Structure 1
């Protein structure tokens, strides 16, 4: 175990100073930057990690990696390789020491999916809720290692058990391979949860970015098949509208509140992200022609009858526009939705456990949401 890179008071300040804000028909819980109320600023930890990337040789290398270009198979494979180089590093530090981890393999048909099962060191006296977490990485990158500490921390916070899959990645394994893997693991959990002290009637599905997308579409398929396995979903900055991602990203700069102090870095960052969406597109990575399929773009599908949903988003996330709309659609469809927005940060903060206080706060919120809806 290592010490957190922030003081306990910094983490507590997020909760002490949070407040509710109304947007349209939705109440949004706003989580402030711990050190300031000044609007339009980046969190100092986020700024320190991003600003150097926008400058000099390193910035040029990042931009080159994000702008592969072209629709050919070689371009798609090159883009995937670059994304893996950037996304597959573990950013968390080990702050949890009270969780046991077991490796297992889920088999369906001719496919084998490695999984990890996380349980409290002291075996629960009764069956406990199951936290099923799916890692992100743009459908082409990421791994269980990247979000390992996240799963451990949720188990420590809640006393639940957790499972995560090493699903197959595009472009080598195109859609729906990864989706099918994640759903097969959900079915396995429902059938085997009691073997590791999990209650199969109390499953919360969760994930970040592409993993949030996979969690959301697994919940939709669960509803469509009337399987009733998923009782809650907690989605961290999920991809929910692949068909309009570039369009929504261009709208982002119009809705963000940006101080002149950090305008240069933020505009450079969003310019880089806009370039990354030129070619190959997400649909090309997945190997599909129609990005409007609800099992790829859940925001474009039927949102009725879904389980209670927690959405967590950074203020400067490039997916914020589509998730703002997604939250409104969920509410209109009659789904219970809680929406949390973290000021001053962008995409991918939750896998920085022990580094970003917002990561720990987000996992505390997920734990509270899960236990509220699964222990009634």
Structure 2
């Protein structure tokens, strides 16, 4: 299998990262006020990030942009064995750059699941973590059928290094060979074990946060739903999450592209970016054993009340931006402290491309700031 690309240094300077931070502005959609940032070197504030165009998302977008709409509507992915193998290989080829972070110790361990399976976990910490005693439990993405903890080493090291927040990632079992709801119960078991044995992890039990990207964001929200009301989870961070996998429409959620804004000179190419996740979203999840919506796999159609403070992010050209914005609306309606951050010019997935996308480092800064704001309130 071809390995992921590795780069020996960051693709951007500290000056460029600060320029990205300074693009931040506020937008309002009904009751929801949220933050938007854009790449300083894009052709406009709605333009595509140039770094994305040279990668696999950009390359695929260049082909999909020419597919007529009436043909695209019928391009649904079939999740057979060969496609799943190919998808898993692609998940292991995420590009990242060495950010030269020293002093962060990485150790591998395991937590015993309720069915006696040993769930692998990976712990990231340095000597200053004992000062905060905060812990971020991270759950990787991969459409429930793929992904590993390996591509997230750099971003979690960076979080530890910058904010002295200990991190722990879960290598949960995947669908479909492990039947639903195994990925969920694995995550529940780890969260519950950490809470009940917080001293083993040198963590305060009231400083445990859950975080996940894409399908991992769904699993993180499921953990908050599972333990709602008992204060086990202090806050959650949902990174371009899938929350409405059966695409049930209501006042905040509508299918299609009407709620996207495009840079006019890049409209077709931008649609090509969106189509990649739209095609995966249109896939019938019954193929992997999720046969009906429930409060864990489809939290969007259930009550948002009682959730912990929530941070959400998505790329403006990610079809799952719909899930992020719609859930942020519902959380806000329910009185939940909610921070929504949208990155213009990006599609789906960026935190695991740390050192390549400056947005990944900016996101880590936003996550650490959010966690500290909850701890210190």
Match of 2:314 in 1: 313
Cα distance in structure 2, aligned partners of 1:216 and 1:87: 22
Are the equivalent residues in 1 in contact too, given 2:277–2:320 (CA < 8 A)? Answer: no
Are the equivalent residues in 2 in contact too, given 1:18–1:29 (CA < 8 A)? Answer: yes
Match of 2:38 in 1: 32
Are the equivalent residues in 2 in contact too, given 1:20–1:27 (CA < 8 A)? Answer: yes
Are the equivalent residues in 2 in contact too, given 1:68–1:78 (CA < 8 A)? Answer: no
Alpha-carbon deviation of 1:283? 3.4
* SS in structure 1 at match of 2:297: coil
State how 1:113-192 maps to structure 2 within 5 Å: 113-120=119-126, 122=127, 124-126=129-131, 128-192=133-197
Aligned partner (choices 235, 238, 242) of residue 239 of structure 1:
242
* SS in structure 1 at match of 2:206: strand
Question: Which has the higher mean CA deviation after the structures are superposed, 38-47 or 162-171?
Answer: 38-47
Cα distance in structure 2, aligned partners of 1:298 and 1:38: 35
Alpha-carbon deviation of 1:250? 8.0
Alpha-carbon deviation of 1:174? 2.2
Cα distance in structure 2, aligned partners of 1:67 and 1:88: 24
Are the equivalent residues in 1 in contact too, given 2:313–2:324 (CA < 8 A)? Answer: no
State how 1:216-231 maps to structure 2 within 5 Å: 216-223=221-228, 226-231=229-234
State how 1:10-159 maps to structure 2 within 5 Å: 10-36=16-42, 38-49=44-55, 50-55=57-62, 69=77, 75-95=79-99, 96-108=101-113, 109-120=115-126, 122=127, 124-126=129-131, 128-159=133-164
- TM-score of the aligned structures, taking structure 2 as reference length: 0.88
Are the equivalent residues in 2 in contact too, given 1:349–1:356 (CA < 8 A)? Answer: yes
Are the equivalent residues in 2 in contact too, given 1:67–1:276 (CA < 8 A)? Answer: no
Are the equivalent residues in 2 in contact too, given 1:151–1:162 (CA < 8 A)? Answer: yes
User: Per residue, is there more helix in 1 or in 2?
Assistant: 1
Are the equivalent residues in 2 in contact too, given 1:249–1:319 (CA < 8 A)? Answer: no
Deviations 1:14-37 (A, max 9, x none): 222211111110111111222257
Cα distance in structure 1, aligned partners of 2:265 and 2:248: 28
C-alpha RMSD over aligned residues: 2.7
Deviations 1:284-340 (A, max 9, x none): 22x0221x2111011111211111000011111111112211110011111110111
Cα distance in structure 2, aligned partners of 1:19 and 1:230: 30
Are the equivalent residues in 2 in contact too, given 1:68–1:79 (CA < 8 A)? Answer: no
Where structure 2 has 5 or more consecutive residues not aligned to the other structure, the ranges are: 1-6
- TM-score of the aligned structures, taking structure 1 as reference length: 0.88
Aligned partner (choices 188, 208, 211) of residue 206 of structure 1:
211
From the superposition, tell whether residues 267 and 116 of structure 1 become closer, same or farther in structure 2 (CA, over 3 Å).
same
Aligned partner (choices 249, 256, 263) of residue 260 of structure 2:
256
Match of 2:363 in 1: 362
* 4+ aligned runs moved over 6 Å, structure 1: 245-250
Deviations 1:166-219 (A, max 9, x none): 000001112110000011110111123322322222011101000011000100
Alpha-carbon deviation of 1:260? 3.2
Count how many residue pairs are aligned between Structure 1 and Structure 2: 362
Where structure 1 has 5 or more consecutive residues not aligned to the other structure, the ranges are: none
Are the equivalent residues in 2 in contact too, given 1:313–1:340 (CA < 8 A)? Answer: yes
Are the equivalent residues in 2 in contact too, given 1:256–1:316 (CA < 8 A)? Answer: yes
From the superposition, tell whether residues 117 and 39 of structure 1 become closer, same or farther in structure 2 (CA, over 3 Å).
closer
